[in-house]
Amino acid sequence: MTKSETFLEYKGLLFSVAYNMLGVVADAEDIVQDVFEKWLTIDSGHVQSPKAYLVKSITNKCITHLEKIKRERSHYIGPWLPEPIITQNEGANKRLEMLNPLSMGVMVMLEKLTAQERAVFLLKEIFSYGYDEIAEIINRTNDNCRQIFKRAQQHLKDDKKRFAIDMEAHGRILKKFLQASSEGDMDGLIALLQDDIEMVTDGGGSALTVNGRTLKALSKPLSGRDVVARFVIKIVQMVQQSIPAFAMKMVLVNDMPAIACFTDSKPVSLIILEVRNDRICNIYVHSNEKKLKSLA
């Protein structure tokens, strides 16, 4: 097997580690490419396990890069959300070779962790690595890795329940949300929301002009089911009445159903719901054009 063939065997895993670490598709692809180029230059005859070598390379590059971009995000306009991946498009799936796509709720949850905590948590919980293997990957002792993992769990606290996802319930509630918001059914929409629901919108400073009115993403999260329901219905009715050829359709984002909004076939927003106990606990809205590229 050639070095290129060996790399291709693990490319999907490497991209998955990078994307779940960084939450940015282009950055993940760039780091995978960097690791590939370095792999071609080394004497692989001295590498006992190509998979272990490549995962170690990708993980440590991601730790360094995540520390850098976290500092840069302090200048981002409004809330920052991880970039979504449209996973229902077969061509896109083949291009990205995605494995283990985490839901948006879990990706947001992981933003609470430091770069090193995120790496250890992902390797342990998502990719099922043991502490001895993780210690070798991040150049720490076994005990140190256990301590890092424990700190990560403490930071996440009860948020780990976000890993338990009922796909059937999620799809059913998403359809009800779409119907209630489209029809202006306030009571129906409120009944779908948890009391402490939070809505986060990521526009990155971009805006949409509707009949002379400029619509921007919220500068901070919106909380409470009455407040969120009124806002959702107000915005949906406004764009339905004012935006030409406005349409909404269901798509798969990170292997979860979501709502994509278009005008004249151009994507303008992506609505992702997080469901827990048969009610919506979080709404994530992407309207940053850079993060909607895969919808085009």
Q: Do residue 235 and residue 139 come from a single domain?
A: no
Q: Do residue 186 and residue 141 come from a single domain?
A: no
Last residue of one domain, picked from the residues 115, 132, 163: 163
pLDDT band with cut points at 50, 70 and 90 for residue 204: confident
For residue 241, the model assigns a pLDDT of 80
Q: Do residue 148 and residue 186 come from a single domain?
A: no
Q: Do residue 26 and residue 138 come from a single domain?
A: yes
pLDDT band with cut points at 50, 70 and 90 for residue 107: very high
| Structural domain total, the chain | 2
For residue 99, the model assigns a pLDDT of 58
Q: Do residue 171 and residue 159 come from a single domain?
A: no
Residue-wise DSSP of the chain: --HHHHHHHHHHHHHHHHHHHHS-HHHHHHHHHHHHHHHHHS-GGG-S-HHHHHHHHHHHHHHHHHHHHHHHGGGSSS---PPP-B-S-HHHHHHHT--SPPPHHHHHHHTTS-HHHHHHHIIIIIS---HHHHHHHHT--HHHHHHHHHHHHHHHGGGGGGG---HHHHHHHHHHHHHHHHHT-HHHHHTTEEEEEEEEEE-TT-EEEETTEEEE--SS-EESHHHHHHHHHHHHHHHHHHSTTEEEEEEEETTEEEEEEEETTEEEEEEEEEEETTEEEEEEEE--GGGGGGG-
Is the model more confident about 211 or about 230? 230
Q: Do residue 12 and residue 34 come from a single domain?
A: yes
Report the CATH number at residue 180.
3.10.450.50
Q: Do residue 93 and residue 11 come from a single domain?
A: yes
Identity of the highest mean pLDDT range in 126-135, 216-225, 229-238: 126-135
Lowest mean pLDDT among 65-79, 211-225, 276-290: 211-225
pLDDT band with cut points at 50, 70 and 90 for residue 96: very low
Mean pLDDT of the 111-118 span: 95
> Across all residues in the chain, what is the average pLDDT?
89
Q: Do residue 153 and residue 189 come from a single domain?
A: no
Q: Do residue 143 and residue 32 come from a single domain?
A: yes
Q: Which domain holds residue 114?
A: 3-163
Last residue of one domain, picked from the residues 145, 163, 181: 163
Is the model more confident about 22 or about 263? 22
pLDDT band with cut points at 50, 70 and 90 for residue 91: very low
pTM score, whole prediction = 0.90
Last residue of one domain, picked from the residues 109, 128, 163: 163
Query: How do residues 149-198 score in pLDDT, each as one tens digit?
Result: 999 999 887 665 566 677 888 889 999 999 999 999 999 999 999 999 99
Q: Do residue 109 and residue 211 come from a single domain?
A: no
Q: Do residue 82 and residue 209 come from a single domain?
A: no
Mean pLDDT of the 194-220 span: 82
Report the CATH number at residue 69.
1.20.140.160
Query: How do residues 244-287 score in pLDDT, each as one tens digit?
Result: 778 888 898 988 889 999 888 888 899 999 998 889 999 999 99
Q: Please determine, for residue 207, whether its predicted confidence score (pLDDT) is greater than 80.
A: no
For residue 93, the model assigns a pLDDT of 46
Q: Do residue 171 and residue 158 come from a single domain?
A: no
pLDDT band with cut points at 50, 70 and 90 for residue 52: very high
